[in-house]
Amino acid sequence: MKKTALITGASRGIGAGIARLFAKEGYRVVINYYKSGDAAEAVKREIISEGGEADVFCCDVADCSGVEQMVGFAKRRFGAVDVLVNNAGVALFGLVTDTTEEERRRVTDVNLHGVFNTSKAVLPDMVSRKSGVIINISSIFGLSGASCETVYSATKGAVISFSKALSREVGPSGIRVNCIAPGVISTDMNKSLTPADLAELKERTSLNAVGEPCDIAAAALFLAGDGAKYITGQVITVDGGII
């Protein structure tokens, strides 16, 4: 029987890469987006054109009611959610002293509260079925911190702690919860980096390279599968050896 994967923030970048790979491997995919509707529809069309099954749902993961509606849509469209990939996130670059209350709240609401909201929404069915996988996309900055990305780093560190704690809470119900901490990945979020910035970052990695969304997608696919059936509460760092 085919499984269903709900992937947040899946219209572009890492999320889109995860959606494409999961669909290619036979998952029914629900592509969540908030603002990039055209991009989400393009990912859906691409998946369907290649014989996969996919649909889209517009929802701000920071909105509890919207998240509940999204999970309900996924169940009606494809059946119970077997795999949740919490990828939606926003970045914030700047000094703490220059950060506004509105900026801080938005980053926290999406990056941390969004993970809580979606996890809470899918868990009742997973617990009932005693089966399910939750994969949270954090960041190497959640492990090491980053200057001028303090709020972002704090939320990503919190996602790691949340994942570890939740894995203990739901493990007895047969549910696995893991985290992926990407390094520098070639996405829209990093388009502001100058060639000099990218060159410096490459030099800091053991592999002397910037990662691609497919690198994170491959790690997520592994964690979702039976090959990882005894892995939970872990942080898989996919960073080319930068830390």
Active-site residue set: 152
Q: What is the spatial distance between Cα 131 and Cα 75, in angstroms, rounded to a whole number? A: 15
Q: Measure Cα distances from 51 to 30, 46, 89, 91, 118 in Å.
A: 15, 9, 29, 34, 28
The number of domains in the chain is 1
* Beta bridge partners of residue 185, listed in sequence order: 211
Contacts of 7 (CB under 8 A, 6+ apart): 15, 18, 19, 22, 29, 30, 31, 32, 85, 87
Pair of tokens at residue 146: 């980053």
What pLDDT, on the 0 to 100 scale, is given for residue 202?
84
22: pLDDT strictly greater than 80: yes
CATH number at 230 reads 3.40.50.720
Q: What is the spatial distance between Cα 94 and Cα 103, in angstroms, rounded to a whole number? A: 10
Residue 182 inside a domain? The answer is yes
What pLDDT, on the 0 to 100 scale, is given for residue 179?
98
Residue 243 inside a domain? The answer is no
194: pLDDT strictly greater than 80: no
193: pLDDT strictly greater than 90: no
98: pLDDT strictly greater than 80: yes
Each as own residue / partner, the long-range contacts of residues 198-203 (CB below 8 Å, 24 or more positions apart, any chain) are: 201/242
Q: What is the spatial distance between Cα 11 and Cα 71, in angstroms, rounded to a whole number? A: 17
pLDDT digits over 132-184, tens only? 999 999 999 999 999 999 999 999 999 999 999 999 999 999 999 999 999 98
Taking all residues of the chain, what is their mean pLDDT, rounded to a whole number?
95
Residue 159 inside a domain? The answer is yes
| 29 close to 52: Cβ distance less than 8 angstroms | yes
Give the range of the structural domain holding residue 184, as residue numbers without chain letter: 4-238
What pLDDT, on the 0 to 100 scale, is given for residue 198?
78
pLDDT digits over 36-73, tens only? 999 999 999 999 999 999 999 999 999 999 999 999 99
* Beta bridge partners of residue 237, listed in sequence order: 181
Residue 90 inside a domain? The answer is yes
Residue 64 inside a domain? The answer is yes
> Of residues 203 and 198, which shows the higher confidence score?
203
Q: What is the spatial distance between Cα 215 and Cα 238, in angstroms, rounded to a whole number? A: 7
